[in-house]
């Protein structure tokens, strides 16, 4: 294939690709400043993504921020999995450090053994 043919083929392929573009706004900057200045809890919901779904721990678990765990224990953690817009909305809330009580009312998709700090 000659160079003009390659260029036209490349142009055609690029025009059919879906491109994700993130546009930063003033609101998102304010939100990021608020998140970074807010003290984060040592208790969080865990997030795992697999097979097109986002799974959330139904209960909050302890993590150590800025320090290493002094002791670790195995704990059975129940997860509920969701997909689509509702899963993305829950993920944003979890990343903001919220305690999301409605996760406990959702069906349990799986249970995993997770090693969590008993003390930081």
Over residues 58-91, the pLDDT tens digits come to 999 998 887 788 889 999 999 999 999 999 999 9
Q: Looking at per-residue confidence, does 6 or 48 come out higher? A: 48
Q: Phi and psi at residue 45, in whole multiples of 5°?
A: -85, 135
Strand partners, 110: 79
Range of the domain at 102: 3-119
* Closest of 75, 71, 77, 61 to residue 117, by C-alpha: 71
Number of domains in the chain: 1
User: Is the pTM higher than 0.85?
Assistant: no
């Amino acid at each position: 294939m000659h160079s003009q043919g390659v260029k036209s083929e490349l142009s055609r392929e690029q025009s059919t690709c879906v491109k994700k573009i993130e546009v930063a706004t003033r609101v998102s900057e304010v939100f990021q400043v608020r998140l970074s200045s807010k003290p984060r809890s040592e208790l969080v919901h865990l997030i795992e993504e697999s097979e097109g779904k986002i799974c959330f721990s139904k209960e909050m678990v302890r993590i150590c921020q800025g320090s290493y765990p002094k002791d670790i224990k195995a704990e059975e953690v129940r997860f509920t999995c969701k997909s689509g817009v509702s899963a993305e909305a829950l993920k944003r809330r979890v990343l903001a450090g919220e305690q999301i009580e409605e996760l406990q009312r959702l069906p349990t998709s799986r249970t995993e053994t997770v090693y969590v700090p008993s003390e930081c």
